[in-house]
Amino acid sequence: MMLKLALRNLWGAGLRTVLNVAVLSFAFVAIIWLQGLYEGMNQQASQALLREAYGGGQYWHPLYDPYDPLSIIDSQGLLPVKIDSFVHRKQATAILLIQGTLYPQGRVQTVVISGIDPDQRVLDMPVDVLKIDDSDIPALLGTRMAKTCGLSTGDAVILRWRDRNGTFDARQIRIVEIMHTNVQMIDNGRVWIPLHKLQEMTLRPNEATLVVLDRSTTRTASADWTFHNTDELLQDIHELVKVKQIGGMVLYVILLFLAMLAIFDTQVLSIFRRRKEIGTLMALGMTRWQVVRLFTLEGALHGIFAALLAAIYGIPLLVIYARHGMQLTDAVDSMGISLGTQLYPVYSTGMILATVVIVLTTVTVVSYLPSRRIAKLKPTDALRGKRA
């Protein structure tokens, strides 16, 4: 009976009910959409890094520190026997990093010369183009690096490096392909050449800086080289997304505040205008707390109707975004997240249910707060229209 009475009261409110439900439904859709964007950002960047850079984890030379460019000078060494066995079985790929200098069009560009096996299948990189047998050393660049240096496919450029003995040497390399990648760490400042060529050039046979495991390979303990699993390697991107999610919480709070303010004002206005109705209900036998529950139920129904309305127009919108993604500008590329030009939101059942529960709970609490004043009303005062 109380539910039927609450529904009748909402229907009688007319435009106020429609506006409250519309505002709440917008809050539902906006919050879920933003959360999906952040989750999509996290998953898309993580998957790109795992495919093209991290694989199933990495072994690092004891002196290698990716955050210290100077560490590259001394971070080369022979592979431990167990790790070397992975490389020979094609379950891992070794990468040798050497500091170098590129001279494109008479300019000087500091680079990291990266040697990789052209036959590797661990990382999703087009390194098979480095199999070309030419008088020049074949090299692979990313689009960002090629743009910075003003180079394109087929160009020849001088590359200088220092070998194991500290002697400077230089040779001409030829750009055999420009690869398109979302992962900046394998693009910016990188020149990729065949591993055996780089080992020969630097007098470092069978040496490497790091080893990338295949995703299906189980790590093996190594006394010298340090293993870093994917959770450690992806920690930076996870932290970056968390920071952006915290910033998004400000918008969540604003949306919820606007929706809750509308509900609160509606409840206060209803109690003020319906004093005689409240007195009549009490005179007919309803207790004060039953009337409080009635008004609280009316507020909660706003949230339920808003959730249904949000499902009607929100599900098609969210599905379209999930399938076609959102176009990103070139400015996003400077943020350091491997996203590319399209961002595809990801929505989980847990995320949607949590949002619905939080919003409905908040609506119910906000509806209850002004309704508590009814408990102080006397039926006679309510019938005469007196305020509590």
pLDDT tens, residue by residue, 86-121:
899 889 999 999 999 999 988 899 999 999 999 999
pLDDT of res. 6: 67
Q: What is the mean pLDDT of the chain?
A: 82
pLDDT of res. 332: 58
Tokens of 193: 């050449």
Lowest mean pLDDT among 63-77, 106-120, 228-242, 292-306: 292-306
Angle at 357 between CA 266 and CA 346, to 5 degrees: 120
Lowest mean pLDDT among 6-20, 296-310, 368-382: 368-382
R_g (Cα) of the chain, nearest Å: 32
Model confidence band, residue 69 (pLDDT cutoffs 50, 70, 90): confident
What letter does residue 106 receive in the DSSP assignment?
Answer: G
Give per-residue burial for 204-228: e unless 16+ CB within 10 Å, then b.
beebbbbbbbbeebebeebeebebb
Please determine, for residue 244, whether its predicted confidence score (pLDDT) is greater than 60.
yes
Please determine, for residue 387, whether its predicted confidence score (pLDDT) is greater than 60.
no
pLDDT tens, residue by residue, 162-187:
999 889 999 999 999 999 888 888 98
Q: What secondary structure, in 3-state letters, does 198-263 show?
A: HHHHCCCCCEECEEEECCCCCCCCCCCCEEECHHHHCHHHHHHHHHHHHHHHHHHHHHHHHHHHHH
The CA–CA distances, whole Å, from 382 to 10, 78, 162, 255, 279 equal 21, 89, 92, 35, 4
> What residues does each domain of the chain span?
2-50+236-383, 57-228
pLDDT of res. 242: 80
What letter does residue 123 receive in the DSSP assignment?
Answer: S
pLDDT of res. 103: 93
Please determine, for residue 301, whether its predicted confidence score (pLDDT) is greater than 70.
yes
Tokens of 291: 């009337």
pLDDT of res. 263: 74
pLDDT of res. 38: 85
Tokens of 382: 């309510």
